[in-house]
Amino acid sequence: MDNLKSIGNLVVRQRKELTEIITGFETKNAYSIEDMHGQKLYVAAEASGSTMMRIFLRAFRPFVIRIFPDGSDVMSLQITRPFRWYFHQVEVVDGQGQLLGVVERQFSWLNRIYVVNCTVTQEKYYIESPLLSPWTFYIKNGKGEEQGKITKKWGGLIKEAISNADDFGVTWPADCDAVVKCVLLGAVFLIDFIYFESRGQR
């Protein structure tokens, strides 16, 4: 993921199959990761989980998402989510299996808060979504200073009504360490599952 070093913005687009949109039957999630000009950089796909888990656990299901450079079969990142009811968590490892960091939800009465621990750089960040801004998740450093944000993008009335396919915009400082960006990218998929996966599954 070295080419993330100079990138300050990303778009993560979920890809839905036509049969899933029509029938509502949950299939494995797939995404494209693009720059702000629409150039595809990576593809991501859910690699684990049985059909029964997708039917009964839905957005709560554990998952493994693997990320590959576009046009390559060499894995760059793996994002793993164990099963948890509330304190949701993902671990992000690189293609060699080295742990890069962990994203974990924290208890909060009102705001939605996640702590991001980057094990390689020993940096800590927080992701916070205020109660009155449910589609925006602000990325803050340990001093509480805003560093970027993850934003769920409105897909239009028809798309939002019939499909749970989601698009996210991600901004962070362009000079932020690539390892930190990889861990924050893992947070996007966790946020998608927790807050937006269940839409359209009626």
Radius of gyration of the chain (CA): 16
* 80-124 tens-digit pLDDT: 999 888 899 999 999 999 999 999 999 988 899 999 999 998 999
Instruction: Give the pLDDT score at 165.
Output: 58
* 63-91 tens-digit pLDDT: 999 999 998 999 999 999 998 888 999 99
Residues 12, 18, 19, 25: what is their CA dihedral angle, to the nearest 10 degrees? 30
Position 20 pLDDT exceeds 80: no
Position 157 pLDDT exceeds 60: no
- What's the sign of the alpha-carbon dihedral 121, 144, 172, 112? positive
Position 11 pLDDT exceeds 70: yes
Domain ranges across the chain: 2-94+151-196
Higher pLDDT among residues 27 and 158, named by residue: 27
Position 164 pLDDT exceeds 80: no
Spatial separation of the C-alpha atoms in residues 201 and 24, rounded to whole Å: 6
Higher pLDDT among residues 153 and 34, named by residue: 34
Spatial separation of the C-alpha atoms in residues 42 and 183, rounded to whole Å: 15
Q: Which amino acid, one-letter code, is at 175?
A: D
Which of these, 136, 106, 142, lies nearest to 121 by C-alpha position?
Answer: 142
Spatial separation of the C-alpha atoms in residues 46 and 58, rounded to whole Å: 13
Instruction: Give the pLDDT score at 166.
Output: 79
Instruction: Give the pLDDT score at 191.
Output: 94
* 176-195 tens-digit pLDDT: 899 999 999 999 999 999 98
Position 153 pLDDT exceeds 60: yes
* 43-67 tens-digit pLDDT: 999 986 666 666 667 777 889 999 9
Please state the pTM of the whole predicted model. 0.86
Position 25 pLDDT exceeds 90: no
Instruction: Give the pLDDT score at 160.
Output: 45
Higher pLDDT among residues 172 and 16, named by residue: 172
Spatial separation of the C-alpha atoms in residues 114 and 124, rounded to whole Å: 11
Instruction: Give the pLDDT score at 94.
Output: 96
**What's the whole-number average pLDDT of the chain?**
84
